Amino acid sequence: MAKQAKLTATRRTALGRSAVRKIKNEGAVPAVIYGGTNQPEPLQVLRRDINALLSHAAGENILVELEISGEGTNRLALVQEVQHAPIGGAVLHIDFHAVSMDEMIDADVPLEATGIANGVKNFGGLLEQSLRSLAIQCLPRDLPDVIRVDVSALNIGDAIHVREIPLPEGVSTRVSPDLTAFSVMPPTVEEAPAAAAVAAAPEVIKEKKEEPEAAGGAKDAKK
């Protein structure tokens, strides 16, 4: 299940590019929390805290207990989106989604294959993963970091469909049960090298027909 971590945040009153630059220069990252009955609220968190949180996360779904300065109670939230810089990967912005422990949440959980498929190990097949994540619904306390699927029994031509994926207790999915998640394909057969080009047949030179003699020459021959 997704671990619940504590994170301290402060309200962000100044908005705009200059305010964001100032926040970053102070070693913080801009954020926002939305959902529930409250309006979206701009926040900021320390860069070192969010980097530590992300580095220790087992999956993409992270539950946090947000301690917001000035509030008497903490808020439970799901890290909904993390924006990274295209160069260097630094965290640029974080979206938190406020949740309640007694309300169902929707999340995309990564699917991970475990074991080596028999068709791959012994017959040279190829494991194909058609679904990288699974849309699930559950209570926050039941949210898994990742859903692992044992593929070791698969032979060439076999497949595991969504309906055959064992889900943790309290977790359900609305994805079509007939969708294929994993399958084992036959080994790739390399095409035989193209046959050498057939040598061109030798040109047949036909004997040139003798041209009839000129009319005058024929007459001279009869004389």
> Per residue in 76-135, pLDDT tens?
998 888 999 899 888 999 999 999 889 999 988 999 999 999 999 999 999 999 999 999
**Average pLDDT over every residue of 51-63:** 80
Kindly report the pTM of this predicted structure: 0.70
Give residue-wise pLDDT tens across range 12-33. 877 777 888 888 888 899 999 9
Residue tagged 């007939």 (tokens): 178
Give residue-wise pLDDT tens across range 163-206. 999 999 999 998 999 999 999 999 987 655 554 444 455 555 45
Name residues whose C-beta falls within 8 Å of residue 122's C-beta, 6 or more positions apart in sequence: none
Residue tagged 């790739």 (tokens): 188
* Alpha carbon distance 131, 87 (integer Å): 28
CA atoms within 13 A on the CB side of 191: 3
Task: Name the average pLDDT for the chain.
Answer: 83
What local confidence, expressed as pLDDT, does residue 196 receive?
46
* Alpha carbon distance 135, 172 (integer Å): 9
Better pLDDT: 140 or 218: 140
What local confidence, expressed as pLDDT, does residue 37 receive?
62
